[in-house]
Amino acid sequence: MTSSRPRPTYGREVSAAPRTLAFVEHPLVRLLSFVLALGYLGLPGVVPPVPVTGADWLVALVSATLVVLGRWAPLGVVLAQSALLLASVWWSLAAANPVQMLLVVSLADVAFRRRGWPLALAVGVTVAAISVKLLGSVGTTGDALTLLFQLGVNVGIPLLVGGYMRLLRQAAVEADRHVAEVELRQETETRAARAAERTAIARELHDLIAHHVASIALRASTARHVAAQEPEVARALEDIRATAANTLSELRGLLAVLRDPRVVDADATVALMDANDFGVALDALIDRTRQAGLSVESEVDPQIHTLDLVRRGALVRVVQEALTNATKHAGPGARVTLEITLDGNLVRIDIANTGGNSDARPHELPSGHGLLGMRERIQLLGGTLVAGAEPAGWRVHATFPATAEMSRQS
């Protein structure tokens, strides 16, 4: 049936974060620092301010290597890059530009991986080193606004990029935590629903066995009086009666152990029904749904009444839960169709609702545990249950073998 509760979408909301982080954290990405450094010094189209020497190549390679180490010691790499930039201003001017670019990359790495004083220290050292380099290249008479613009580009942009990547990582971690919590809650709810349904089945099993054992005890007691003239027969019948009585007592004790009032709803189980009670129970469920303001059209195969007690209980349980969900989620004005057929050795249940509450969301699962309980009940009989949204409402379709022999074969 339809429900108005939204389902969590934590994983979809931050789907871009894991892919972006996986790209940034890939080891081969850091090797691009060598491409930048060597490309700047070696490509014909890039002209350094002075001729390139062996010292320039060495400084550029050291700076690129430091970027590779930034994943483990980002603050130490920024300090080393800043010192290397200051040194290159005096004795390796051709390598100063690539070192400055790699220092900017290292600062973004710190903004991504560190917060607080390590980040503040990295920013201060970077500003000082780049200022010295820029003043050395433009002279002390250079435009102050140009200097501030250069610092803003070389420091502000890496801080923004690194901060954005840090937020992505936090979002991904938070999403993973929420997904884990949702999965754990769903698993717990599923186990609770199955435990409740199996407890209800145990209660019905008690009713079923007790019905037959009580009948055996009653017939044995009657036969014992009839056969009073035959002592051996009377003793055998008395033994049967006593055994049946003990069995009933043990069944009641076992039921007390199995039943947990915290998880078993008083209306979650179907009492023992004979063929006539079975029809009365179905009619009562349909009438109660109609009284709630829903229109119910039912078609029940008369052969359904030949089912055994366990299958009657399962059938009534599915109908009960499906109609209850229709009442809760579709609401007054909805139209419900109920069809129960016995197709050869297979029982088919088809329940659908349309119309009703316009605020309900037909594409979402019911919020309770009833669907889990129905599926558990049908699976124990060797059948299947499918529940899902349709354009105009919700449909529940269940099938299960009509006899225990067919259940064992399936």
Amino acid 207: pLDDT: 64
Task: Report the pLDDT averaged over residues 11-28.
Answer: 61
DSSP one-letter string for 112-165:
HH--SHHHHHHHHHHHHHHHHHHHHHH-TTS-HHHHHHHHIIIIIHHHHHHHHH
Q: How many CA atoms lie within 13 A of 104 on its CB side?
A: 19
Give yes or no for residue 5 having a pLDDT over 60.
Answer: no
Between β-strands 335-343 and 295-300, what pairing exists: parallel, antiparallel or unpaired?
parallel
Question: How many CA atoms does the CB half-sphere of 101 hold within 13 Å?
Answer: 16
Residue 401: count of CB within 10 angstroms of its CB: 18
| Angle separating helix axes 74-91 and 96-113, nearest 10 degrees | 170
Model confidence, pTM:
0.50
Q: What pLDDT digit, counting tens, does each position of 55-109 carry?
A: 888 888 999 999 999 888 999 999 999 999 998 888 777 888 899 999 999 999 9
- Nearest CA to 190 out of 20, 323, 365, 349 is that of 365
pLDDT tens digits, 209-219: 666 676 676 77
CATH superfamily of 275-409: Histidine kinase-like ATPase, C-terminal domain (3.30.565.10)
Q: Above 90 in pLDDT, residue 397?
A: yes
Q: Which residue has the higher pLDDT, 8 or 118?
A: 118
Which residue would you say has higher pLDDT here, 201 or 15? 201
Round the average pLDDT of the chain to a whole number and report it. Answer: 78
Is residue 351 within 8 Å of 1, Cβ to Cβ?
A: no
